[in-house]
Structure 1
Amino acid sequence: MSERSENVTEKLMGSIIDTIAENLPKQKSGKFDPGSVSDKVRNKLFGRQNSMHRVLGGGKSADVLLWRNKKISSSVLALATTIWVFFEWIDYHFLTIVSFALVLGMVVQFVWSNFSSMLSGSPSKVPRVELPDELFVNIAVAIGAQVNKFLSFLQDLSCERNLKHFVVAIAGLWAVAVIGSWCNFLTVIYIGFVCAHTLPVLYEKYEDQVDDFLYSLLGLLRDQYQKLDQGVLSKIPKGNMKAKKSE
């Protein structure tokens, strides 16, 4: 959570990108040119024109994900890590932690209420902990809105008659199912939480390098597909369906 760990992460990310970029073969003339694509789309990933802050929705949530305030972002990530360590490594359970927290609170209030009068000479009012009803309502509304948005997104993909988007969505859900079979639900949530707090800020700092690498990789894949098409796919004889039907 310190600046030292953040610098180590930045150096590691930079070295990985530089190593991969150096091993990529140079594009020849007449083929896919990342520079020409970057001129058209301003070298943004998938033609993105907005900033990462706008892409993430803006506001306080985007500030936390992009580490605009390092103390708040590090505190949120540290809290999530602590919860995950308690449940996964120390093998605590949710009911156990809640019970211990309630016991600790009751002990503090008991000591406060019984010994405050002995120390000060007059009984002091013990503070009461009460969660507002609006907190639970806002949490439920926020969760419901995100679930409905996700369901609407999946239904739009199913009904827009775009086979490419439909296959990508199916592949993504299949990948999530496979990852879920490797680890439990809490670990999956924690991995997604850590990725959300690391990948956007790293991409924002190394945006040009990542975009150049991805466009170069897309160019290599396109060249390999063209070679495969010219060498193998184009030589495969295509049957005449009309002739077969007439026979």
Structure 2
Amino acid sequence: MAEHVESVMEKITEKFHGHDSSSSSDSDDEKSSPASVKSEINRLFGRQQPVHKVLGGGKPADVFLWRNKKISASVLGGATALWVLFELLEYHLLTLVCHILILSLAILFLWSNATTFINKSPPHIPEVYLPEDPVLQIASALRIEINQCFAVLRDMASGRDLKKFLTVIAGLWILSIAGSCCNFLTLFYISFVLLHTVPVFYEKYEDQVDSFAEKAMAEIKKQYAVFDAKVLSKIPRGLLNDKKKA
């Protein structure tokens, strides 16, 4: 009987030891899980938040990331229809607004007069007006953003950050080339399509994109260091430093 009890106790201790070893192996697996590997990757532009929060975290972010495919497809389809209407068919905005108003007023007028012949009450036409608070909030947000842009432009024009200055000049030059190839409406439509495709693609393949971007940024920094040593460092800055000291 005592030998039987000892054998049972040995089996129980072996089970506990096996459970401890499996839990320790699970913890080791968790340490080497993809989540820890993801944290080691430097995110694009130093991003610390998910893509959804970077885009605002609200309904616009849901549309851009195709959280609701019907709404996203409807928005993109509507933008495509407007682009085809104005760009390919060369329809004008003022003409479109006037035609929509003519059609709406004609339908409401005929419907209101037809109710007298069919003995029904006329349709209720709702009052349409712009609320004050949202308009003021939008205007205030635009004012803040415009002032920040002016401050950034002033800071870059002062010559304090040569790297940022060259980056902005290159970006504006690329934008001017794109503007010479297409008009504003086409450029706006291309930007709108990119907003509906690039964030989804990046969210799906963010690890691969971030890894590639990290290598590309390292190479760009290396080339910029060479350019700085060979070209930028040879630019005389004595007059500018004397002015700052004075």
Report if TM-score (shorter chain) is over 0.5: yes
1:197/1:149 CA distance change after superposition, 3 Å: farther
In the TM superposition, what is the alpha-carbon distance from 1:58 to its structure 2 partner? Answer: 2.4
Aligned residues: 192
In the TM superposition, what is the alpha-carbon distance from 1:118 to its structure 2 partner? Answer: 1.5
In the TM superposition, what is the alpha-carbon distance from 1:183 to its structure 2 partner? Answer: 1.0
- Pairs within 5 Å for 1:120-139: 121-128=119-126, 130-134=128-132, 136-139=135-138
Taking the aligned partners of 1:46 and 1:73, their CA distance within structure 2 comes to: 26
1:158/1:201 CA distance change after superposition, 3 Å: farther
1:76/1:140 CA distance change after superposition, 3 Å: farther
Which has the higher mean CA deviation after the structures are superposed, 154-163 or 90-99?
A: 154-163
* RMSD of equivalent CA atoms: 3.1
1:129/1:184 CA distance change after superposition, 3 Å: farther
1:54/1:176 CA distance change after superposition, 3 Å: same
Measured against aligned partners, the alpha-carbon deviations of 1:159-197 in whole angstroms (never above 9, x if no partner) come to 471111111011111111111111111111111111122
The answer for the alignment partner of 1:60 in structure 2 is 59
Taking the aligned partners of 1:102 and 1:164, their CA distance within structure 2 comes to: 52
The answer for the alignment partner of 1:170 in structure 2 is 169
Q: Of the two, which has the highest radius of gyration?
A: 2
Per the normalisation by structure 2, the TM-score is: 0.66
The answer for the alignment partner of 2:85 in structure 1 is 86
The answer for the alignment partner of 2:76 in structure 1 is 77
1:141/1:84 CA distance change after superposition, 3 Å: farther
Per the normalisation by structure 1, the TM-score is: 0.65
1:40/1:116 CA distance change after superposition, 3 Å: closer
Measured against aligned partners, the alpha-carbon deviations of 1:139-176 in whole angstroms (never above 9, x if no partner) come to 54444444333333333433471111111011111111
Taking the aligned partners of 2:130 and 2:221, their CA distance within structure 1 comes to: 57
- 1:205 paired with 2:204, answer yes
In the TM superposition, what is the alpha-carbon distance from 1:198 to its structure 2 partner? Answer: 1.2
Taking the aligned partners of 1:222 and 1:49, their CA distance within structure 2 comes to: 22
The answer for the alignment partner of 2:148 in structure 1 is 149
1:159/1:46 CA distance change after superposition, 3 Å: same
Measured against aligned partners, the alpha-carbon deviations of 1:76-112 in whole angstroms (never above 9, x if no partner) come to 2222111111100111000110011001101111111
Contact 2:38 2:207 in 1 (8 A): no
1:222/1:176 CA distance change after superposition, 3 Å: closer
Q: Secondary structure at the match of 1:108?
A: helix
Taking the aligned partners of 2:62 and 2:148, their CA distance within structure 1 comes to: 22
- 1:192 paired with 2:191, answer yes
One-letter amino acid matched to 1:185: F
Structure with more contact order per residue of length (Cα contacts < 8 Å, sep ≥ 6): 1
Q: Which runs of 5+ in 1 are unaligned?
A: 1-37, 239-247
Q: Which runs of 5+ in 2 are unaligned?
A: 1-36, 235-246
One-letter amino acid matched to 1:48: R
Taking the aligned partners of 2:155 and 2:222, their CA distance within structure 1 comes to: 33
